[in-house]
Structure 1
Amino acid sequence: MTFNALISVDELAAAQAAGQPLLVLDCSFELTDPGAGQRVYDAGHIPGARYVNLDRTLSAEKTGRNGRHPLPSREAFAAAMAAMGLDEGTQVVAYDNANGMYAARLWWMLRWVGHHPVAVLDGGMAAWTAAGHALSTDAPATAVQGGFRLQPSLVSTVSYEEVKANIDLRQRQVLDARAPDRFRGENETLDPIGGHIPGARNRLFKDNLRADGRFKSAAQLRQEFDAITGGLPAEKLINQCGSGVTACHNLLAMEVAGLHGAALYPGSWSEWSAQPGAPIATGAN
Structure 2
Amino acid sequence: MYSSLITPQTVNEHLEDPNWRFFDCRYVLTEPEKKQSEFAESHLPGATYVHVNHNLAGPRIPGKTGRHPLPKITELSKTFAAWGISSSTQVVVYDDTGGAYAVRLWWMLRWLGHDSVAVMDGGWPRWLKEERPVSADIFIPESVNFNAKPREHWSVSAEDICNYFDNPEVRIFDARSRDRFRGENETLDPVAGHIPGAVSAPFADNLDADGNWKSKSELRKMYLELLDGSPVEQAVTYCGSGITACHNILAMCYAELGDSRLYSGSWSDWITNPERPVV
Q: Deviations over 1:216-263 (max 9, x none)?
A: 111110111122221322112111000000000110111111121211
Matches of 1:20 and 1:63, distance apart in 2: 39
Q: TM-score, normalised by structure 2?
A: 0.96
Structure 1 residues 13 and 72, CA gap change in structure 2 (3 angstroms): same
For 1:110 and 1:119, the matched residues in 2 are separated by 10
Q: How many residues align?
A: 278
State the 1:3 CA deviation: 0.5
Q: Which residue is 2:239 aligned to?
A: 241
Matches within 5 A, 1:38-57: 38-57=36-55
Q: Distance in 2 between matches of 1:80 and 1:155?
A: 22
Aligned match of 2:257 = 259
Q: Does the CA contact (< 8 Å) of 2:24 and 2:50 recur in 1?
A: yes
> 1:16 offset after TM fit, Å?
2.1
- Mapped contact 2:169–2:230 kept (Cα < 8 A): no
Structure 1 alignment gaps of length 5 or more: none
Tell me the residue number matched to 1:280.
278
SS class of match (1:250): helix
1:116-131 pair list within 5 angstroms? 116-131=115-130
Q: Is the 8 A contact 2:237 2:262 kept in 1?
A: yes
What is the rounded CA distance, in whole Å, between the counterparts of 1:261 and 1:168 in structure 2?
22
Letter in 2 for 1:239: T
Partner of 2:78: 79
Amino acid at match of 2:76: F
The equivalent position to 1:188 in structure 2, one of 172, 186, 189, is: 186
The 2-side partners of 1:54 and 1:155 are apart by 23
Q: Percent identity?
A: 42
TM superposition shift of 1:134 = 2.5
| Matching residue of 2:68 | 69
- Shift in CA distance, 9/155, structure 1 to aligned 2, threshold 3 Å: farther
- Please say if residues 15 and 46 of structure 2, whose CA atoms lie closer than 8 Å, have aligned partners that are also in contact: no
Q: What is the CA deviation profile of residues 175-226 of structure 1, one whole-angstrom value per residue up to 9, with x for unaligned ones?
A: 0000001000111011000000000001110110111211111111011112
Structure 2 residue matching 1:114: 3-state secondary structure: coil
Report matched runs for 1:125-204 at 5 Å. 125-140=124-139, 142-153=140-151, 156-204=154-202
**Counterpart in the other structure of 1:109:** 108
Deviation at 1:143, TM superposition (A): 2.1
Residues 80 and 260 of structure 1: CA distance in aligned 2, closer, same or farther (over 3 Å): same
TM-score calculated relative to the size of structure 1 = 0.94
- Deviation for aligned residue 1:30: 0.7
* Secondary structure at the counterpart of residue 109 of structure 1: helix
Q: Distance in 2 between matches of 1:211 and 1:41?
A: 25
CA contact (8 A) 2:170 2:231 kept: no
In 2, Cα distance between equivalents of 1:179 and 1:16? 35
Tell me the amino acid that sits aligned with residue 124 of structure 1: G
C-alpha spacing 1:155/1:30, structure 2 compared with 1 (3 Å): farther
Cα pair 2:95 2:123 within 8 Å, conserved? yes
Label 1:11 to 1:154 Cα distance change in 2 as closer, same or farther (>3 A).
farther
Asked if structure 2 preserves the Cα contact closer than 8 Å seen for 1:44 and 1:137, the reply is yes
Uncovered stretches (5+) of structure 2, i.e. residues with no partner: none
Partner-residue secondary structure (3-state), 2:147 = coil
Which SS does the other structure have where 1:94 is aligned?
strand
Contact 1:112 1:154 in 2 (8 A): yes
Q: 2: distance between equivalents of 1:93 and 1:209?
A: 19
Q: Secondary structure at the match of 1:56?
A: helix
Structure 1 residue 96: Cα displacement: 0.7
Contact 1:26–1:96 under 8 Å retained in 2: yes
Distance 1:243 1:273, change over 3 A: same
RMSD value, Cα: 1.3
- The answer on whether the counterparts of 1:69 and 1:267 sit within 8 Å (CA) in structure 2 is yes
